[in-house]
Structure 1
Amino acid sequence: MKHILLVEDDLTYSRIVKTFLEKNGFKVQTAIKVKEAQQLFTSSKFDLIIADFRLPDGTGMELLQWSKANYPQTQVILITHYSDIRIAIKAMKLGAFEYITKPINPDELLATVNESLTSRVAEESAPNTISNPAPSTNTPKSETAGSSYVIGSSPEAEKLEKHIQVVAPTDLSVLVLGETGTGKEFISRRIHDLSPRHDGPFVAIDCGALPKELAGSELFGHVKGAFTGALENKTGHFEMANGGTIFLDEIGNLSYEVQIQLLRAIQERTIRKIGGNKEIKIDVRIIAATNDNLLIQAGDGHFREDLYHRLNEFTLSAIPLRSRKDDLEDFTAQFLAESNQRLNKNVKGFTSETWEIFLGYDWPGNLRELRNIIKRAVLLTSGELVEKEALPADIYEPAHGTGSQIGTTLSSGKNDLPSPKDYKSQWIEQEKELIQKVLQDTKFNKSKTARILKIDRKTLYSKMEKYGLD
């Protein structure tokens, strides 16, 4: 019997979910706080954590990062409200198996739980020929595995594909820029597949998920005895990628010390394992990606400018989905086919009402959000076409949505609610004023400002640039 840890501070909601899962054959323990959940691991072993994002003493994201560092085989599903969609997408990049939104649909929950546990069994049964005694939270994998690259038919997509075709045959290092969820790894794999290295390995690493103390070991390997827990020699990702391509996603998250090692690897085309004294030659093409402004980070001393220029021999920009609505038909067809295969369904398409909702929404989570919504809709659809009712209400109800909406245009009378655009502009103005006030109160101490606002420094820099506060 599979053992699930449910972390939810709403006791009524927790009891309902627990009862439902137990009726479907699972053993369920509950907790209401992050620390309580962590303590339960000292006496029990869990196959899956289902955690609400907002908890009394922290967040589900914190629990996710802790579990991936200490119990990497335990799957994590995050529960969010739809307003937390960007956070949920970030959680998936950090290793969460999936996210589901409140109110939870029982069929969706059960399917996601079963899928996560099936995935875990498959990972455990897969052969592992490389000794890796140290905890690893970032086994190389690709979201694009088994999926076809969708070029798109919009002018923006055609321009991007033309640039990919130009740079792919070369050995230039490529920097892929773009928002979260825009398919930067798809683009990078496309470059690899069109390059002379296509028969070599493609190793994808999320630098944001690498524990700082293990990042050097994960990338370059270590020798036995290099540090506590290094019981055997370890082959790093660069050595695994020899003869092929290494994709370094969220490159801005690497520590300054690891940046130095990476710069040396690029310049000398050699690596040295942690604790070793032997130079190992490597033949690897590097593709890096980020949604940060690395030049701002370089100016602030958080990213080496010489490394930035080494990585940025050629730049590509991933296009946000809201700017390529002409490609929606191509992407929905691809994701519909994937979902049908994954869920053993035979949904043929979408009603005209559903399609109008898709066209009217601004997709803040980009392609990743579109894929998840289509997968959820296919799961909930019993007929041939996806109906409006199979979609999350938040993407078409103006009172709850986060983007542009379908529906009746609000009038401008005194007693009417502001339009969605007015809500957005008010939010932006309030956020700008808050950041400006805290900066002034801290005398522009950015570290202190970030702590007070409870955001990381990179997010602060990005918002300061956006609002012209630097």
Structure 2
Amino acid sequence: MKNILIIDDEIHTCTLLRKILIKEGFDVDVTMSGSTALKMVKEKHYQVVFCDYRLKDKEKDGATLSREINLLNPHTAIIIMTGYPDVRIAIQFIRNGVYDYITKPLNAEQIVLLANKAYLHVNNIRDNNDPIATTVVTISTVVNAQGKLHESEHVFGNSSASKELHQQINLIAPTNYSVIIFGETGTGKESVARLIHSRSKRSTMPFVALDCGSLTNELAASELFGHQKGAFTGAINANTGAFQQANGGTLFLDEVANLSYNIQVALLRVMQERVVRPVGSSIEIPVDIRIIVASNENLPQAISQGKFREDLFYRLNEFTLTVPPLRNRLEDLPLFVETFVKETENELQRKSGPLSPELLAYFNTYSWPGNIRELKNVIRRACLLTPANDTIDLQVLPEEMIDLHKPVQKKVEKVNPPVQDNNLNLKAIAKQAEHEKIMTVLREVKFNKTKAARLMNIDRKTLYNKLQLLDIKFKI
């Protein structure tokens, strides 16, 4: 039975939610008292609880009640309802075990979506043996039942984390909701976005992907909104921006946190008004698009640091997906390895041998900082270096993975480091100091160039130029 408990001191809210959720097949109980709610939770198992943040019950407000329900049943998904959205409060809720929160006034479609999402989440926690096929990772081919390759951008795993992700994709894809996809570098965020698009009503229309991390402040407005001929120096021809290119379909903005504050303001206006104004033009052009964004950063934290607009976050955050890192779903590793080996065999037009037990054992102890992308590259390299039909062994691994005792960090090579001038002139001193500073920042962010550039308040192009000038090279 799909049991939901609604706790709110406003009777019309309880009535509305009960009516909406009963139509979706849920068994719904309601109460306006926090104390009564605790008794009900002790007597009956609820998979999902909707709880008002500001209950009039002096002894049991929403925050206290959510903690006590979580202690009684950690597997219950608690959703806080509040008319006072505050990202700091939201973060505190999550830390205290709350599954999600929703702002008032309530929207029926959002309520249904969130209830189903929470119910799937609870079921996956309680039943890790569910045989439903699951997650998405970035690759170009998958293996069918006959072991042959066919064109696709996804491969499905069997872990509980993969199952939940795929079920949530199926849930959100048919809607027109904006989606935020969180995940580490290399987990396949763009692949998830493409899958959402392919399963939506917009699947026959364009899917346009834009890497915001590669955009300078000067280029961002033109790339997003387009520009007129002569709008600025170098604008020899008119340019159609990503919003117009994606009209009718889906626009995917990767690393959205890298957009400047001014561009964030413009993006918010486009989302609200659904019109774009190309740079240098006075004409507003209507656009009909779905927006999906991705980030490997904590956006609520970026908001608290003043790097990301809170109103833009709430506009984008109609639904959130998190792509799990490879180290959290190692049970999917054999399938991923098999798929990448077959894909590489197809690419090289020759048969590869089996992976040695030692190599497979190492794969299961390695932390995979580059996630699925790193695994795919390692397999392709290993198959290339190993003669046809020979066993693939440890010696074909990249240098940074050879240490068997611990996961190895990305290895840094200093090729011709800056030479100290014997006279210690100012240029030599400055060059050495710049070299050391860049290396320190790169190590702090695990050699993520986008993050490093942002911390040093420069764009990525400037960072690349400095890396080349100072002869700094490192293996990824």
Please state which band the TM-score falls in when normalised by the shorter chain. 0.5 to 0.7
Alignment of 1:229-378 (within 5 A): 229-378=234-383
Partner in structure 2 of residue 168 of structure 1: 173
How far apart, CA to CA, are the structure 2 residues paired with 1:460 and 1:151? 35
Q: Give a deviation string over 1:132-173, Cα, whole Å, max 9, x none.
A: xxxxxxxxxx97595431121001100110100000000000
Q: Give a deviation string over 1:302-357, Cα, whole Å, max 9, x none.
A: 21101011111100001000000011122112222222233333225422222112
Alignment of 1:14-413 (within 5 A): 147-384=152-389, 385-398=391-404, 401-402=407-408
Once the two structures are TM-superposed, the CA of residue 360 in structure 1 deviates from its matched residue by: 1.7
For the Cα contact (< 8 Å) 1:292–1:458, is it kept in 2? no
Q: Give a deviation string over 1:257-285, Cα, whole Å, max 9, x none.
A: 11111111111111110011111111111
Instruction: Rate the CA distance shift 1:349–1:278 in 2: closer, same or farther, 3 A.
Output: farther
Relative to the length of structure 2, the TM-score reads 0.54
CA RMSD of aligned residues (A): 2.6
Instruction: Rate the CA distance shift 1:203–1:461 in 2: closer, same or farther, 3 A.
Output: closer
For the Cα contact (< 8 Å) 2:344–2:380, is it kept in 1? yes
Instruction: Rate the CA distance shift 1:256–1:290 in 2: closer, same or farther, 3 A.
Output: same
Residue correspondences, number:
275
How far apart, CA to CA, are the structure 2 residues paired with 1:165 and 1:353? 38
Partner in structure 1 of residue 420 of structure 2: none
For the Cα contact (< 8 Å) 2:367–2:407, is it kept in 1? no
Once the two structures are TM-superposed, the CA of residue 386 in structure 1 deviates from its matched residue by: 2.0
Between 1:183-192 and 1:164-173, the stretch displaced more is 183-192
Give the secondary structure class of the aligned counterpart of 1:287.
Answer: strand
Once the two structures are TM-superposed, the CA of residue 200 in structure 1 deviates from its matched residue by: 1.2
How far apart, CA to CA, are the structure 1 residues paired with 2:201 and 2:273? 22
How far apart, CA to CA, are the structure 2 residues paired with 1:366 and 1:306? 32
How far apart, CA to CA, are the structure 2 residues paired with 1:248 and 1:279? 21
How far apart, CA to CA, are the structure 1 residues paired with 2:359 and 2:405? 18
Relative to the length of structure 1, the TM-score reads 0.55
For the Cα contact (< 8 Å) 1:173–1:287, is it kept in 2? yes
How far apart, CA to CA, are the structure 2 residues paired with 1:215 and 1:317? 26
Query: 5+ residue gaps in structure 1?
Result: 1-141, 404-449, 463-470
Instruction: Rate the CA distance shift 1:235–1:461 in 2: closer, same or farther, 3 A.
Output: closer
Once the two structures are TM-superposed, the CA of residue 397 in structure 1 deviates from its matched residue by: 1.8
Once the two structures are TM-superposed, the CA of residue 211 in structure 1 deviates from its matched residue by: 2.0
Structure 2 letter corresponding to 1:390: V
How far apart, CA to CA, are the structure 1 residues paired with 2:348 and 2:210? 28
Instruction: Rate the CA distance shift 1:349–1:452 in 2: closer, same or farther, 3 A.
Output: closer
How far apart, CA to CA, are the structure 2 residues paired with 1:161 and 1:205? 23
For the Cα contact (< 8 Å) 1:218–1:237, is it kept in 2? yes
Instruction: Rate the CA distance shift 1:184–1:144 in 2: closer, same or farther, 3 A.
Output: farther
Partner in structure 2 of residue 50 of structure 1: none
For the Cα contact (< 8 Å) 2:366–2:406, is it kept in 1? no
For the Cα contact (< 8 Å) 2:350–2:388, is it kept in 1? no
> Highest Rg: 1 or 2?
2
For the Cα contact (< 8 Å) 1:345–1:378, is it kept in 2? no
How far apart, CA to CA, are the structure 2 residues paired with 1:208 and 1:345? 38
For the Cα contact (< 8 Å) 2:231–2:279, is it kept in 1? yes
Partner in structure 1 of residue 148 of structure 2: none
Structure 2 letter corresponding to 1:269: R
For the Cα contact (< 8 Å) 1:336–1:349, is it kept in 2? no
For the Cα contact (< 8 Å) 1:215–1:258, is it kept in 2? yes
